[in-house]
Amino acid sequence: MKRILTLLTLLVTNCLFAQKIDKHTLCQTWYLDKYSDEEEYYLPPKKEEGDYMTLRKDMTYEAQSEGTLSSGTWMLNTNGKYLELKDGNRKVEKLYVYFASDKSLVVVYDVDEYRIWEVHYVSSK
Amino acid sequence: MRLNSLVLYLLIFASSRVFSQETVALRSVAFKPPTDDVYVMSVHDERTNRHLGMHKNLNGDKVTLYMDKGAEQSVADFYEISMPHRLSGRPVLIKIKELNVQESKRRMNSFIARVARAHVELVFLEKHAGEWSEVFTIRHNEDQVFGLYDKQNLYNTHEERIRAALEYCMLAFLHNYEEPKSLTESHFDISSGRQKINPKLGQWFNLVTAKVLRSTYFEGYGISYTGFVDSKKGLIRPYETSFEVTWARRDVAEENGFRDVNSFVFRPELYFFYKKITRGIYASVSANIPVGYEILENFDGDNSFNFVIGAGASQGLRIIPWEKRGLVIGADFFQQFETSRVYRFDVGVEVVVGINF
């Protein structure tokens, strides 16, 4: 039984990583929902409540992080499975996409301090 | 006859050591270009060395990595999936100036991480008035960070980063080509001065060193492991873990009413930097918070403990004459305040000898 579960887990994980990300799926407002690591889920701290990012079809974005607004341009790299956000000061953030659907987006920020956290966004509150 | 066989065997063995190679096959994953009008007519590989680099494979053998169909065909096939040839389309020609994959390590927070890079430099040409002319050049790095023990995942994903780099370059070309926006509006702005692309990941150094230290009040020895990524510019942040044992010099201990004073101290760093002065020579500066305890033995043989905390700093040099492996020598001058029972302020020197590999 354990072997079957392990196999299923591997298959599901493989499917997640093999998922092709569609740009149109990403074009909406994503609200920060929770964080997770290998063990459990965590609610965002109070200062991050209400954080979001809006990805638009014209490749511009708007985001709120810890209550601070930012905006700029974004792109999707399908083969690298990442989003790249570039704000008005040309500062770049890279977000590896682990899962994307109409309702859910799971990313990992390519920053040393946050690389161990999966960040879960939802499309509506 | 036997000699001939031996020579033949040695030749085969030497060839296998020198020419051992593995190939990378790009997976067929299409991306969505912003226009359907452009297609890649042909790709020319202008690299002097037409491989992707020398690497240790998962068995630990040194191999040279190549694209399975050659770089020209592999890159052309990759773009063909997303930008199929159309009769009404506009052809572009691509020159490959750089295409390689690299691996190194770097400090990540308080740990060491592996870093992988795909480095690409492409030149795009278009036909104007019957002549091919260069219209766009881009250098791009696809970097990815892995755990120290995640070598397998790193090695197996070199091809993914090549695909990502090729996609990035094409999107940059098409967006600049199709939508010549103002510099502040274009996501793929590669105008000179804004894009600083370092083609090489720095070399990772491992140093294992022993040190002898002597100060106004103490003497002792220690052993350290230091890892850092070489960099010509800027400050280098090494990773270091060390252990040292010190004891008060006999006359100092006696002046303070003790037969023996031994201390065991860890030094969590506030900052620790190397600065490359020239090839093989590095200056180092650090500030740390010594935390630990002293064992004080009085003349009656009774022991007491003293909690020690303070602030320390050091300045020194490391000389690494051979980059691949060899000898390391160095010296540090240090100062520290501590809640020691035998001193408040101490200065001293450390002499360091070790190896790099």
What are the C-alpha distances in Å from B172 to residues A88, B119, B269? Answer: 18, 15, 42
Q: How many angstroms separate the Cα of B168 from the Cα of each of A106, B57, B162, B183, B316?
A: 22, 27, 10, 18, 43
Cα angle B95, B98, B104 (rounded to 5 degrees) comes to 160
pLDDT, tens only, B300-349: 989 999 999 999 999 999 999 988 889 999 999 999 999 999 889 999 99
Q: Are A47 and A61 in contact (CB under 8 A)?
A: no
Q: Where are the alpha helices (DSSP H) in chain B?
A: 2-19, 70-82, 151-156, 158-178, 250-255
* CB spacing of A82 vs B108 below 8 angstroms: no
How far apart CA B319 and CA A79 sit, in angstroms, is 43
Dump pLDDT digits (tens) for B90-108: 999 999 999 999 999 998 8
Whether the predicted pLDDT of A74 surpasses 50: yes
Rounded mean pLDDT of B35-44?
A: 94
Please give the pLDDT value at position B207.
94
Q: What is the pLDDT of residues B167-216, one digit of tens each?
A: 999 999 998 866 555 544 578 866 654 457 888 888 899 999 999 999 99
CA distance B126 to A79: 25
Q: Supply the pLDDT for residue B181.
A: 54
Per-residue pLDDT band at A9 (split at 50, 70, 90): very low
Q: Give the best residue of B167, B191, B196 to mutate against chain A (max A CB count within 10 A).
A: B167
pTM for this one? 0.81
User: So what's the ipTM on this one?
Assistant: 0.85
Tokens of A69: 């607004």
Verify whether the Cβ–Cβ distance A78 to B30 is below 8 Å: yes
Are B164 and A74 inside 8 Å of each other by CB?
Answer: no
Higher pLDDT, B313 or B9: B313
Nearest to B109 among A20, A90, A112 (CB): A112
CA dist B207 and B325 (Å) reads 9
How does pLDDT run across B49-90, given as a tens digit for each residue? 999 999 999 998 999 999 999 999 999 999 999 999 988 899
**What percentage of residues in chain B have a pLDDT greater than 90?**
68
Measured at the alpha carbon of residue B299, what is the angle toward residues B293 and B300, in degrees to the nearest 5? 100
Q: What phi, psi does B158 have (nearest 5°)?
A: -55, -45
Set of chain B residues whose Cβ sits within 8 Å of the Cβ of A113: 109
Please say whether the structural domain B7-178 has been given the CATH code 2.60.40: no
* Three-state secondary structure call for residue B263: strand
Between CA B306 and CA B90 the distance in angstroms is 79
| Integer Cα distance of B351 and B353 in angstroms | 7
Give the CATH fold of the B204-356 domain. Answer: Porin (2.40.160)
B279-297 burial code (b ≥16 CB/10 A, e <16): eeebebebebebebebebe
pLDDT band at A67 (very low <50, low <70, confident <90, very high): confident
Query: What gap in Å lies between CA B26 and CA B65, rounded to an integer?
Result: 13
Res. A7 pLDDT band, cuts 50 70 90: very low
Residue B137 in tokens: 């050049």
pLDDT band of B242, cuts 50, 70, 90? confident
For an interface test with A, give the residue of B28, B31, B148 to mutate (most A CBs within 10 A): B31
**Alpha-carbon distance B192 to A21, whole Å?**
32
Q: What percent of chain B shows pLDDT beyond 70?
A: 90
Give the one of A80, A86, A88 whose C-beta lies nearest to B167's C-beta. A80
For chain B, what are the domain ranges? 7-178, 204-356
Cβ-based neighbours of A86, under 8 Å, separated by 6 or more:
A72, A73, A74, A92, A93, B187
For residue B27, name the pLDDT band (cuts at 50, 70, 90).
Answer: very high
Query: Which residue ranges form the domains of chain A, and what is each CATH number?
Result: 21-122 (2.40.128.270)
User: What one-character DSSP code corresponds to residue B236?
Assistant: B
CA distance B123 to chain A (A): 20
